[in-house]
Homo-oligomer: A and B are copies of this chain.
């Protein structure tokens, strides 16, 4: 855990230099909005206005014992079957990743039935039912986290320098909702959503399961305890990815509710980790908003997506690359023979 103390944010002066350069480009100051923010942050993180990214989404698959409570309408074997589909590249994530030139790697960290050839990082075969018991022992939760970190390190060693983390696991919007409640103080009603699809009575059952899981396990001494009591193996691995990225000062992209639950835990372990987090889409899942509010992160794609898998990552990576490209190559005021002084800076009005 002492590696966590090495996590630092990017150089603040690099961020200011990037913003100053953007303000010299021929446009109303700040008029590229989120694109300017993204470009400035990525310039500061990478130390270059024109970084070349090798992009990958690391998908962690695991089953969740809370499935026994009827929190999902899908058969539990959906986890294993969708893993096969992800490996064939035929999932929603796979197609979006192919479109945007992003590689996808899947690791079975906790699926009930082994995913052949993808068990190098496997820690368990499913987790405990959080309504009745811990999801994972503290040691298992830590090993899942280390598995995600090790997988990210492997990717970074292979040259990937812009990562996303995804997940596949029936029941994981339930574990994530519970983790978000524990980490933010949100109520089960606020943090629980319809997942991949539930009837109203199914939804009410899911809220009740989240409530009872929290009542059983709280209080929590630290984020690892939250992950151990409530978290899925996939969620733990994603925490590890984010921490490893931050340690290597590499940006990573968020996706939906599970990624936000993971980032809340990662931030509790190393506050500077959020400096490397890039938002993507506004998940349709309720808990994502609770976590975003707590983290101060605002997604910029309003696609009403709720597919999971890490499917929000490839497009957001592409938007970030577009932001960098645009702000690297636009003409300056000087080149256009205009002066910045003729523009009122609306960002100052706001202040």
Contact = CB atoms under 8 A, between A and B. Distances in A.
A315 B307 contact: no
A4 interface: no
B336 A81 contact: yes
A34 B302 contact: yes
Interface in A319-351: 319, 321-322, 325-326, 329-331, 335-338, 342-346, 349
Contact of A28 (B197, B301, B302, B331): B197
A299 B282 CA distance: 13
A311 B306 CA distance: 28
Given A304-B34, A336-B81, A322 B90 contact: no
Interface in A15-54: 25-29, 31-35
Contacts of A319: 315
Interface stretch (A93-101, A214-222, A264-272): A93-101
A27 B31 CA distance: 37
A28 B195 CA distance: 9
A301 B300 contact: yes
A167 to B, nearest CB: 14
B342 A75 contact: yes
A305 interface: yes
Contact of A91 (B26, B92, B98, B298): B26
A78 interface: yes
Contact of A306 (B31, B95, B196, B321): B31
Nearest to A326: B95
A199 B322 contact: no
Nearest to A284: B33
Total identical chains: 2
Contact of A305 (B32, B94, B342): B32
Interface string A76-110: 00100110110010111011101110000000000
Contacts of A9: none
A337 B236 CA distance: 29
A310 to B, nearest CB: 14
B81 A338 contact: yes
Contacts of A26: 82, 85, 90-91
A325 B95 contact: yes
A194 interface: yes
A74 interface: yes
A73 interface: yes
B342 A33 contact: no
Contacts of A197: 28-29, 343-346
21 contacts: A26-B82, A28-B197, A31-B196, A32-B92, A33-B304, A73-B342, A74-B343, A78-B338, A84-B336, A85-B331, A88-B331, A91-B330, A96-B326, A98-B325, A98-B329, A194-B346, A197-B344, A199-B349, A202-B344, A300-B303, A301-B301
Given A32-B311, A318-B318, 6 more contacts: A26-B90, A33-B305, A33-B306, A34-B303, A98-B325, A197-B345
